[in-house]
Structure 1
């Protein structure tokens, strides 16, 4: 059986890892890779792959938005890829063709690929499963409006709109407000999964910003940029995040 595949992920390292594993399988032809939802929609429409490895949490246009744009009934068999195990994994287990949590092992990938092959060869209910997964995920798509943080012996609630940016620090995060910083005992991945991706965007592996609090973005060097927040703090933006970030800001203005 010969199958065609498309890899969609906003992280280049993750895309390359999946492509390398697919290239090692003589039954799979990789049609291409996409770094954002918009190009994924175009590639799926133009190339009609049999199988799509789709990152669920991308800036500007999420994996769910890609499915909605294509239409679940016309969507190829889909393997969801996510860095956030807490983000609707139950829905993936119940309904998706399969899912991968980054970082994943070679053995886990092989199991996922075999499941996808089996379902495609059986010409089964992949479309129905995607429809169910989409509905399940949308029902669970409730994002935080406030975050509870401990200050001394008290717990205070921080409105997410008051957050300027968030910094990862091992198994905790630092929540930067305009005039103070709170520490939360939670991983960046877990917190990011509960923040609205239309309001918060990753600018670097260890930094997420409130899109509404960004004042300016200036070129730096080697394709990197410097983001200045409305409280004057400056953050480095990865060159891989710059284009996706601008699309996110543009889509908010259109809304």
Structure 2
């Protein structure tokens, strides 16, 4: 081990993973390295968001596929400059490009070998030794407008009949699922029917601006006129908030200081 690692302070870290076996492996790995200080293990991203807003830490071991708020969505919510470093831990390699676009420190595929784990955390620890530690995640006052999306695109293309139609994110009110089809409602009163899955659309939509509120609805956060426990109003229309989506949806609302 690099001698400089022994003299610098330990990294405070948090494990966020809904798989008990995976968390047990990471806990065992952390316990074997004196420059890591595990402060919390959490099993869902919503609880992690609440914890991180109150407790600054240096490093997250973040699983991607979790119910409700995914690990990738959590990574996109956390402030890029003031937040903790992130090491993604997942059994799926298809998120690697998206992870590195978010600026994660490393991407560990499960099952993760201890040697590979050491390589990832040593690199992070050395970067802290050469730079000031991350600042607190205490929320700051929100700007007048919602944060701009991390994606460089301002629109998406959807299949409509025999053509690809451009839909600007600014014009999109909400999306309704209709079996294997999606119906996109736009600000000009238009409706676009497309043969598409919710999962694919969620990969394209900027998570800072859109949220799944029900198994059949995605809404634009900027278009919400008011919300209650079981419904939201968008463009004068009341849309249901499903029980399974309520907690992660409210966490997003709190994170963006929409209330």
TM-score, normalised to structure 2, is 0.59
Residue equivalent to 2:209: 199
Residue equivalent to 2:28: 27
CA distance in 2, matches of 1:109, 1:195: 27
Q: Which stretches in structure 2 are left out of the alignment for 5+ residues? A: 1-10, 32-37, 64-70, 132-148
Contact 2:177 2:217 survives alignment (8 Å): yes
Q: Which has the larger radius of gyration?
A: 2
Among 82, 89, 94, the alignment partner of 1:69 is 82
Contact 1:167 1:206 survives alignment (8 Å): yes
Matched, 1:110 2:111: yes
Residue equivalent to 1:11: none
CA distance in 2, matches of 1:77, 1:157: 34
Residue equivalent to 1:16: 18
> How far apart are 1:177 and its partner, in Å?
3.0
Q: Which stretches in structure 1 are left out of the alignment for 5+ residues? A: 9-14, 100-107, 132-139, 220-224
Contact 1:84 1:190 survives alignment (8 Å): no
> How far apart are 1:232 and its partner, in Å?
1.0
Structure with a larger share of its residues in helix: 1
Structure 1 residues 18-57: aligned runs within 5 Å: 19-23=20-24, 27-28=28-29, 31-33=40-42, 35=46, 36-37=48-49, 39-40=51-52, 42-45=54-57, 52-53=61-62, 55-57=71-73
Among 210, 214, 217, the alignment partner of 2:227 is 217
Using a 3 Å threshold, how does the CA distance of structure 1 residues 89 and 142 change in structure 2: closer, same or farther? closer
CA deviations 1:178-212 (Å, max 9, x no partner) are 64432334443333233222221222355321112
Contact 1:147 1:159 survives alignment (8 Å): yes
Number of positions where the alignment pairs a residue of Structure 1 with one of Structure 2: 209
Matched, 1:160 2:169: yes
Contact 1:97 1:115 survives alignment (8 Å): no
Q: Superposition RMSD on alpha carbons, in Å?
A: 4.3
Among 228, 235, 242, the alignment partner of 1:230 is 235
CA distance in 1, matches of 2:218, 2:208: 12
Contact 1:56 1:80 survives alignment (8 Å): no
CA deviations 1:220-249 (Å, max 9, x no partner) are xxxxx2222224141224232243132145
TM-score, normalised to structure 1, is 0.60
CA distance in 1, matches of 2:91, 2:204: 13
Contact 1:97 1:116 survives alignment (8 Å): no
Among 7, 10, 14, the alignment partner of 2:15 is 7
Contact 1:143 1:196 survives alignment (8 Å): no
CA deviations 1:46-95 (Å, max 9, x no partner) are xx56x52262313xxx447345213xxxx456226699946834737x97
Using a 3 Å threshold, how does the CA distance of structure 1 residues 118 and 84 change in structure 2: closer, same or farther? closer
